[in-house]
Amino acid sequence: MSDALSADPRGALAAADAGSDRRLHPLTLMLNLVRQVPQAILGLIALRFSGPDELKPWVGLFALLALLAMVGFEFYRWWRFSYRLDPEELRIASGVFSRNVRSIPYERIQDVNLEQGPLARLVGLAKVRLETGSSGSGDEGALDSVDLAEAERLRDVIRLRKAQQADGAPSGESDAGTEATPLPQTEAPLLFGMDMKRILTAGVFNFSLVFFAVVGAVVNNLDFLMPDDFWNPRRLLDFLGLEDLFAALDLAARIASVIAALIGLVVVGLVGGIIRTVLREYGFRLERTETGFRRRRGLLTLTDVVMPLHRIQAAVIATGPIRRRFGWYELKVQSLASDSDKESDHSIAPLATADELRHVLGETRIAWETDYPAMRAVDPAMWWVPLVFALPVPILGLGISAYLASPFIALAYLLLPLVPLISWLHWRAHRYALLGDQLYVRDGFWNQQLTLLPLRRVQSVDIRQSFVGRFIGLAEIAIGVAGRSGAVTIQAIPIGDAIALREQLLGVAVRNRPSGTS
Amino acid sequence: MSAGFADELVFAAPSPDGLSAGLRPLDRRYVHVIRLMTALVVLPVLISATVTEFALVGKGVGEHGMITAPVLALCAFILVFLPQRKWKRWGYAAGDEQLRVARGWMFRTDTIVPFKRIQHIDLGEGPIERMFGLASLTVHTAGTHNSIVTLPGLARGSAEAMRDAMRLHIRREAE
C-alpha cells in the first residue's frame, strides 16, 4: 500500500501529449462532494432541530435542492478547470464566474509534491502541489486531483523541462515527454526509514492530548443536541448514574479516584500520541535523489515531498531530557518553500540515533561537530533580570487578594519558586558556539533545539540592546535566515562579544563569493 | 500618547560605546519631518481635549484652561524638544559591502545587511518627506526575520546614489 506512489508511469509518459488542455480526473467530482457531505448533514440536522417549526416538513426538499445545487456547481467548476503543459510554462485555467489563467514557468517551480488522502488512495488519485517559492499560501498551483500515473507524468515532465530551461537548451515541442524515461526516484538509495517498532517508540515520546481537543470540537459542533448544562459535574454524574456512588465515597476514596483520573489522562495522552504518530509517520522513507531528499510517509494521508539540497538553509536537531537519555534525536531542515502541512521545518528523521542522524546530515553540507558541553554559556542575567520585572506583580497581587479575599490564596506562593526555576533551566539550556563556518545555537530545556546554521546562509544580523541591557553591558544578537519563522537569537552576551561575533558572522557574507539562497 | 514618545522622554545621548561608533547622522531636515508627523498624531489629542473641556465648562464644571493648558504644554514640549532627540537616535553607515542601520534608544537595534544578501531595493518618498527633499531607502532580504530594513531621512540625491551603488553590487554578484 505504501508504494502506491511509485507506480510505473512509463506507459503514461509515452502517451504524453504536450500542449493539449486536460481536465482533472472526473472522480475528483465525487471526492469533492464526499468532502462536503458531513458539513451538509450537520447543517440539515441543525435546521431540523433548531429551525422554525413551519420549515420542518420541508427539510427533505431543502436537502434535495441543496444536493442538486452542489452537484451542479461542482460539475461546472470541474468543467471550467483545465491545465496545459506548454513548452515554457504550465498553464492552469480556472474560475466559475471570473476566469483566471495562471502561467507558471517551469524554472520557477521549486518542488512538485504529491499528496494522497485516504479516499483518494481508494480510487487511485493524487493531488499535485507545485511549490513556486513565492510567499503565498503554498496553493499557487495545485491540481486536485489527477490519477496517479498522470501525477507521476506531470512530475517527471516538469522536472525535465525545468532542467532543460536551466541548461538553456531549447525545450522540445512535443517529444519532451517521451525523453523523460530516467526515473531515479524509484531506485534512489534509502537514507533513513522507520519500522513499526521505531514509529511506536516515537509515539511514546509524542505525548498528546489531541484526543480531548477532538472530543471538544465535536461537542462544540453538536451541543444543540445535548441537554443544557450537560457539562456541570453533578449533572454529569447524575446522567451517568454515579451520583449516589460518589456521595458514598469517603475522602481517601475520593483522592484515589482523582489519582485514577490523572493516570487515565496520562494513558489517553500516550495512546493519543502513538495514534497520531502512526498516522503521520507510517512507512517513513527518506531517500537521496539526484538533487536532494525525497520523503514519503503517512498511513491514511500519504505525502510525497521533495527537498532540493541547495535550498536547505539550516538544520535543527531536536530532543528532550528523556529522549536524550535514550539517545534519540529528531532532525529537521529549514528550507525555502513551505511544507504542505504548513510546518516551517521539514522533519527528515523523526526519531533517530546520533549515528543515523549524522549519516543523513552528511548529505547536506551541514556538520554536527559540537554539542552542549563544549558550547559557550550566556550571561546569567538572562534568567534573573526578567524576574526583577516580572515577579513583583504576582507577589503583590497574591498578597493583596489573600488579605482581602481568602487566606487560602496565599498557598499560591508555594508555586512561585517554579518561575525562577524554569527561567534558570532555560538559561542553562541556552548556549552557542562558532565553529568552522557554522553557528551552533542551543535553546530550550524541555524541547531542546540545537540549530546548525552555516554562515553562508546568514541574511542579516541585528544587535539589540534594551535600556536594562545597556546598564549591565549586555546585548542580544538576532540573525535573519530565509525559510524560518523567526530569527536565530543569542541572548544576554556582553556587548563587546556581540560586536565581535557579528563581525565573524558577516565575514563570510562580506568576503567570499556568495553561495546565494536559491 | 504613544509608546514611541515615552521612549524618548528619557534624556540622554546615545552612549559613545562601540555600538554607536562609526555611524553617520541622518539629514538635518529629517527633524522637521519627524516634527510634522508627530504633529499629525498630537493634533487629534489636542482637539479632543478642547472638545471635552468645552463640554464640561458648558455643564458648569470647572474653568476654561483646566484641560487644554496642561495638554497644550505637553504637546508643545513634545513638538519642540523630542524630534531633535528622536533624530539623534538614528544612524547609518554604508560601507563598500554592507549597510548598517541603528535606531531607537530604550530598545536599540543595530542591523547590518550585506549587499550580497539584498534581493531588491525600494526608494520611497512620503508627501512630508518630499516637502523637504528627502527620501527613504528600504532594502529587502530573503530572510523571514528582519527581511525589510528601512533607512529614512536621506537627502534625495544621496539616497539615489546609495541605491545605485547597491544595485551595482547586486548585479555584479548575480553574474
In DSSP notation, A268-313 reads HHHHHHHHHHHHHHTT-EEEE-SSEEEEEE-SSSEEEEEEEGGGEE
Query: Which among A464, A466, A482 has the least Cβ separation from residue B142?
Result: A482
Q: Are A287 and A274 in contact (CB under 8 A)?
A: no
**Distances from the Cα of A136 to the Cα of A140, A141, A156, B42, angstroms:** 7, 11, 24, 38
Question: How much is the pLDDT for B168?
Answer: 82
Whole-number CA gyration radius for chain B: 20
B151: left (phi over 0), alpha (psi -120 to 50) or beta: beta
Closest CB from A463, A483, A487 relative to B19: A463
Residues 6+ positions from A71 with CB-CB distance below 8 Å: A33
Whether residue A459 and residue B98 make contact (CB cut-off 8 A), yes or no, is: no
CB A335 within 8 A of CB A307: yes
What total number of domains does chain B contain?
2
Q: How would you class A456 by CB atoms within 10 Å of its CB: exposed for 0-12, middle for 13-18, buried for 19 or more?
A: middle
What local confidence, expressed as pLDDT, does residue A156 receive? 83
Quick check: A466 and B19 CB within 8 A?
Answer: no
Among B39, B56, B88, the domain boundary falls at B88
Which of chain B's residues have a Cβ under 8 Å away from the Cβ of A514? 116-117, 173
Of the three residues B33, B59, B88, the one that is the final residue of a domain is B88
Same domain, B82 and B95: no
Residues B65 and B140 in one domain: no
Mark whether B158 and B83 lie in a shared domain.
no
- Whether residues B71 and B106 fall in one domain: no
In degrees, rounded to 5, the angle at the alpha carbon of residue A462 between the alpha carbons of residues A460 and A464 is 170
Instruction: Spell out, as residue ranges, where chain A has pLDDT lower than 70.
Output: 1-19, 50-52, 55-56, 132-140, 166-187, 210, 219-249, 337-344, 508-518
CA distances A115 to A126, A127, A146, Å, are: 6, 5, 11
Within a domain: residue B165?
Answer: yes
B18, B113, B142: residue with CB nearest A499? B18
> Same domain for B82 and B44?
yes
Chain A neighbors of B141, CB-CB under 8 A: 459-460, 480, 482
Question: Same domain for B161 and B101?
Answer: yes
- Give residue B161's domain range: 91-174
B173 vs A contacts (CB less than 8 Å)? 514
Buried b / exposed e across A114-142, counting CB within 10 Å, b at 16+?
bbbbebbbeebbbbbbbbbbeeeebebbb
Classify residue B5: in a domain, yes or no. Answer: no
For residues B139 and B169, state if they share a domain. yes
Lowest mean pLDDT among A23-32, B11-20, B51-60, B69-78: B11-20
* Cell 523541462 belongs to residue: A161
Domain check: are B95 and B83 in the same one? no
CATH number, position B150? 2.30.29.30
Residues B98, B38 within the same domain: no
List, for residues A208-257, the tens digit of each pLDDT value. Answer: 776 777 777 776 666 555 555 555 656 666 666 666 666 666 777 778 88
The continuous run of DSSP H or E covering A441 comes out as: strand A438-443
Tell me whether residues A480 and B107 touch, CB distance under 8 A: no
Q: Would you say the ipTM is above 0.90?
A: no
Which helix (H) or strand (E) is A315 found in, with range?
A: strand A312-319
Residues B110, B98: Cα–Cα separation, whole Å: 13
Of A311, A441, A458, A459, which to mutate for an interface test with B (greatest number of B Cβ within 10 Å)?
Answer: A459
Domain edge (last residue) among B40, B64, B88: B88
B77 lies in the same domain as B103: no
A312 contacts chain B (CB < 8 A): no
Q: Is B141 close to A481, i.e. CB distance below 8 A?
A: no
- B161 within some domain: yes
Residues of chain B in contact with residue A482, where contact means CB-CB under 8 angstroms, are: 141-144
Is residue B15, in this structure, part of any structural domain at all?
no
Query: What is the pLDDT confidence band of residue B15, given thresholds at 50, 70 and 90?
Result: very low
Same-domain pairing of B111 and B132: yes
Residue B44 belongs to a domain: yes
Q: Which residues contact A297 (CB under 8 A, 6 or more apart)?
A: A280, A281, A282, A283, A284, A285, A303
Is A497 within 8 Å of chain B by CB? no
Does residue B80 sit within a domain?
yes
Residues in chain A within 8 Å Cβ distance of B98: 506, 510
Taking contacts as CB-CB distances below 8 angstroms, the residues of chain A near B113 are 459-460
Residue B73 lies in a domain: yes
Q: Which of B19, B106, B145 sits opposite A480 (nearest CB)?
A: B145
Which residue, A263, A149, A140, A277, is CA-closest to A207?
A277
pLDDT (0 to 100) of residue A492? 93
B142 with B117: CB under 8 angstroms?
yes
Interface of A with B in 323-342 (CB under 8 A): 336
pLDDT at A222: 62
**Residue A321 near residue A138 (C-beta atoms within 8 A):** no
pLDDT at B23 over 60: yes
| SS3 state at A122 | helix
Contacts of B108 in chain A (CB under 8 A): 464-466, 470
Question: What distance in Å separates the CA atoms of residue A92 and residue A84, rounded to the nearest whole number?
Answer: 7
Q: Can you give the pLDDT at residue A358? A: 93
CB contact under 8 A, B116 and A483: no
Is A466's Cβ below 8 Å from some Cβ in B?
yes
Cell of A505: 558572522
Are B95 and B56 members of one domain? Answer: no
* Burial of A450 per CB tally in 10 Å (0-12, 13-18, 19+): buried
**Does the CB of A189 have a partner CB in chain B at under 8 Å?**
no
In a domain, B19, yes or no: no
